[in-house]
C-alpha cells in the first residue's frame, strides 16, 4: 500500500489530491484521443480495431525519429517544431491506418465479424514486432529539455505546465473532431454510415470514402497521442501500445462505444479513476484497476455511460 498516513497536513493532502486529479486528467486526455480511434472505427464498421494501440506506438516512434533526424527544434523553434511534428505524425500514422484497413480488414467486410477481429490481432502482432525489429527491444528516450518544466499555481495548488498543455491539446482536438462530425457535410456522411451503411449508400454517400476517412482520422489521433506520451513521459517502448490500447478501449466502452462524446468522457474518467486508485488504493494494482472497470462495465452496462440499448432482432 502506497498510502502514507503519517505527516500530511490538510494542505498537503489537498495538494496530493489535486496532483492526482491533474495527472489523471492528462493521462485521461491521452486515453480519450486513442479511444476516439476505437470508437470511430467501431461506429462505422462494428469492428474493434485491435491494432489501434500499435498505431499509437508507431506515432511515438515516428515522432522520435522525425524529431531526431530533422533537428526540427533547431530550425523552427520549439513551439512551431512541435506543431509541425504533430501534423507529420498525424499524416503518416493516418496513412498507415488506411493501409491497415486495405490489407487486413477490407477483404473481410463480408466475412463473419470475428474473422476481422483475428486479422486485427495479427496486424497488431505485425506492427509491434516490426517496431521491435527496426528500433530494437529496449526502451527509447525522447530528447530532454525541449519542453517547459515550469509549474503553475492555481489557487496555490501546483500544476506542471506540461500536464496542462497535454490536457488542452487533447481537448482542442476532441472538440475539433466533434464539430467536424456534427457540423460538416462529411461529418454527416460519417454519422449516416455509422447508422446504416446500406441506406447511406442509397443516399449517394460514398461509404468506402467514409471508411477511409475514419481509418485516417482515428489512427492520426492515436498517433499524436503516442507523440504526446513520448514528449511528456520521455520514455517509449514497443509494447506500450497494447496496455494503452486496452485502457483506451476500456475508456471507449466506459463512455459507450461508437459514441464520440462518450469516448472523451470515458477517457478522462478512466484517467482520473486510475490515478486516484493508484494513489489511494494501491500502486501495484494500478493496471488492474482499468481491467476491473472494463469487466464491471461490460457486465453491468455493456452499452456504456452514454450509449443506448438496442434490442436484438430475432
**C-beta of 134: minimal distance to another protein in Å?**
11
198 is written with which cell numbers? Answer: 446500406
Count the Cβ atoms, other than its own, within 10 Å of residue 227: 27
Q: Looking only at residues 40 through 79 of this chain, which bind another protein when binding is defined by CB under 8 A?
A: 47-48
129 contributes a contact to another protein by CB under 8 A: yes
Binding residue for another protein (CB under 8 A) from 84, 95, 117, 147? 117
**C-beta of 236: minimal distance to another protein in Å?**
19
Binding residue for another protein (CB under 8 A) from 102, 113, 143, 199? 113
**C-beta of 130: minimal distance to another protein in Å?**
7
**C-beta of 58: minimal distance to another protein in Å?**
14
Q: Which is nearer to another protein, 163 or 247 (CB)?
A: 247
Total residues binding another protein (CB under 8 A): 42
Q: DSSP characters for 167-211?
A: HHHHHHHHHHHHHHHHHSHHHHHHHHHHH-HHHHHHTT--HHHHH
Radius of gyration of the chain (CA): 20
2 contributes a contact to another protein by CB under 8 A: no
Alpha carbons within 13 angstroms on the beta-carbon side of residue 18 total 16
Considering only 59-67, 141-149, 265-273, 296-304, which stretch makes contact with another protein by CB under 8 A?
296-304
**C-beta of 312: minimal distance to another protein in Å?**
8
DSSP, res 257: T
> By three-state DSSP, how is residue 160 classified?
strand
Binding residue for another protein (CB under 8 A) from 3, 114, 138, 144? 114
Per-residue b/e over 300-314, b at no fewer than 16 CB within 10 Å? eeebbebbeeeeeee
Q: Which is nearer to another protein, 125 or 165 (CB)?
A: 125
136 contributes a contact to another protein by CB under 8 A: no
> By three-state DSSP, how is residue 23 classified?
helix
Considering only 117-125, 160-168, 217-225, 226-234, which stretch makes contact with another protein by CB under 8 A?
117-125
98 contributes a contact to another protein by CB under 8 A: no
Continuous H helices in the chain: 10-45, 52-70, 72-76, 78-100, 113-135, 161-183, 185-195, 197-202, 207-233, 240-255, 260-280, 286-300
247 is written with which cell numbers? Answer: 485502457
What contacts 42, CB < 8 A, 6 or more positions away?
Answer: 48, 49, 252, 257, 258
122 contributes a contact to another protein by CB under 8 A: yes
Binding residue for another protein (CB under 8 A) from 118, 147, 164, 276? 118
Site residues, another protein (CB under 8 A): 47-48, 103-104, 107-108, 111-119, 121-127, 129-130, 133, 242, 246, 249, 253, 284-285, 287-288, 291-292, 294-295, 298-299, 302, 311, 314
Amino acid at each position: 500500500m502506497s498510502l502514507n498516513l503519517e505527516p500530511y497536513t490538510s494542505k498537503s493532502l489537498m495538494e496530493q489530491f489535486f496532483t492526482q486529479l491533474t495527472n489523471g486528467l492528462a493521462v485521461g486526455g491521452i486515453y480519450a484521443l486513442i479511444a476516439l480511434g476505437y470508437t470511430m472505427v467501431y461506429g462505422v464498421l462494428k469492428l474493434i480495431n485491435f491494432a489501434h494501440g500499435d498505431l499509437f506506438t508507431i506515432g511515438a516512434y515516428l515522432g522520435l525519429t522525425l524529431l531526431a533526424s530533422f533537428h526540427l527544434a533547431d530550425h523552427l523553434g520549439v513551439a512551431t517544431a512541435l506543431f509541425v511534428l504533430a501534423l507529420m505524425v498525424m499524416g503518416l500514422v493516418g496513412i498507415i491506418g488506411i493501409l491497415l484497413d486495405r490489407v487486413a480488414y477490407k477483404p473481410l467486410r463480408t466475412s463473419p465479424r470475428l474473422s476481422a477481429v483475428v486479422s486485427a490481432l495479427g496486424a497488431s502482432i505485425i506492427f509491434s514486432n516490426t517496431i521491435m525489429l527496426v528500433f530494437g527491444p529496449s526502451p527509447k528516450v525522447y530528447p530532454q529539455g525541449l519542453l517547459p518544466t515550469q509549474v503553475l499555481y492555481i489557487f496555490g495548488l501546483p500544476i506542471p505546465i506540461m500536464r496542462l498543455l497535454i490536457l488542452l491539446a487533447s481537448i482542442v482536438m476532441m472538440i475539433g473532431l466533434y464539430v467536424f462530425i456534427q457540423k460538416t457535410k462529411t461529418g454527416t456522411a460519417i454519422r449516416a454510415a455509422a447508422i446504416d451503411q446500406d441506406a447511406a449508400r442509397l443516399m449517394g454517400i460514398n461509404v468506402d470514402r467514409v471508411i477511409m476517412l475514419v481509418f485516417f482520422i482515428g489512427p492520426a489521433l492515436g498517433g499524436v497521442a503516442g507523440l504526446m506520451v513520448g514528449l511528456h513521459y520521455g520514455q517509449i517502448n514497443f509494447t506500450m501500445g497494447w496496455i494503452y490500447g486496452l485502457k483506451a478501449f476500456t475508456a471507449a466502452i466506459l463512455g459507450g462505444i461508437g459514441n464520440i462524446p462518450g469516448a472523451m468522457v470515458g477517457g478522462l474518467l478512466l484517467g482520473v479513476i486510475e490515478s486516484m486508485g493508484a494513489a489511494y488504493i494501491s500502486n501495484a494494482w494500478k493496471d488492474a484497476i482499468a481491467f476491473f472497470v472494463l469487466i464491471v462495465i461490460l457486465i453491468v452496462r455493456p452499452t456504456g455511460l452514454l450509449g443506448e440499448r438496442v434490442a436484438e432482432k430475432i
